[in-house]
Amino acid sequence: MDIVESKQISEPIKSEAQISHLALDIGGSLIKLVYFSTNSDSSASSSSKDSVAVSSGNEGRPVLEGKLHFAKFETAKINDCIDFIRSKQLRLSGFQKHGAPAGEKCTIKATGGGAYKYADLFKEKLGICLDKEDEMDCLVAGSNFLLKAVHTEAFTYMDGQKEFVQIDHDDLYPYMLVNIGSGVSMIKVDGPGKFERVSGTNVGGGTFWGLGRLLTKCKSFDELLELSHRGNNRVIDMLVGDIYGGMDYTKIGLSSTTIASSFGKAISDNKELEDYKPEDISRSLLRMISNNIGQVSHHLLKAW
């Protein structure tokens, strides 16, 4: 299980009854969990590193101050998620505060394929009924909200530099939403509630984790990702400069550092798998999959 910190999101909240105390996104590889606790709710609170303060008083509207807490779990270890919900008593606190009649079933919002696959398990283990929401509907609605409400949500990343982009709310649509999960979906968003999945690829996060686990023996997604941060893909990837004696291929606009062939050096190196550092393998694998997703998305966008 991993608990992560997120940025602050300010949103007017009219009453506590409108708060969904606990919600889940149960994907093919990871379970994402978010829950809300009021400032006075000591039973659900945890350290500041796993939460973000939520407060707003715009236009004189009443608000509920508190924190959003984020956590994620491996779907294959879904019982860890269930144990976490039970230990925090999340299935009880928010439900009881809203004044539900005794004996009424406890229902929480859930999305993702696992909301269907594991519905019986949550009912059996926690007495919780999953109120299933369509994952694409949730994805688009959440993306629209963030682009409009969080001014630092959109940015470009070039040569290691992040540059924030100002979003014109009157000229937001259409845009392409690339959802990278176990697999990848490319979605054309034309407006609130108006979208179409136009393409996708089966080479996604699940591919990174699956191949990474086989090649490096990492036991978790986070371990593999952290390993990649310390790696050097140039040890394994064949670059344009490796082919052209360190020079750019300027005629067609390729720099010497462009990857010509992922894992290409493994062809000529007289090495076995154990001769390569796991961090270099994970870095090369991450670059390969990320570049593929970016290229597919770029070509699809140009075809619009």
**288-302 per-residue burial string, b: 16 or more CB within 10 A, e: under 16:** bbeebbeebbeebee
Does the domain spanning 2-133 belong to CATH 3.30.420.40?
A: yes
Judged against a pLDDT cut of 80, whether residue 196 lies above it is answered with yes
- The answer to whether the 2-133 and 205-297 domains have the same CATH topology is yes
Q: What is the mean pLDDT of residues 50-73?
A: 65
pTM to 2 decimal places: 0.79
pLDDT in tens, 79-125: 999 999 998 887 664 444 444 454 556 888 999 999 999 999 999 99
At the top level of CATH, the class of 205-297 is alpha beta
pLDDT in tens, 119-137: 999 999 999 999 999 999 9
Higher pLDDT, 41 or 4: 41
The domains of the chain are located at: 2-133, 205-297
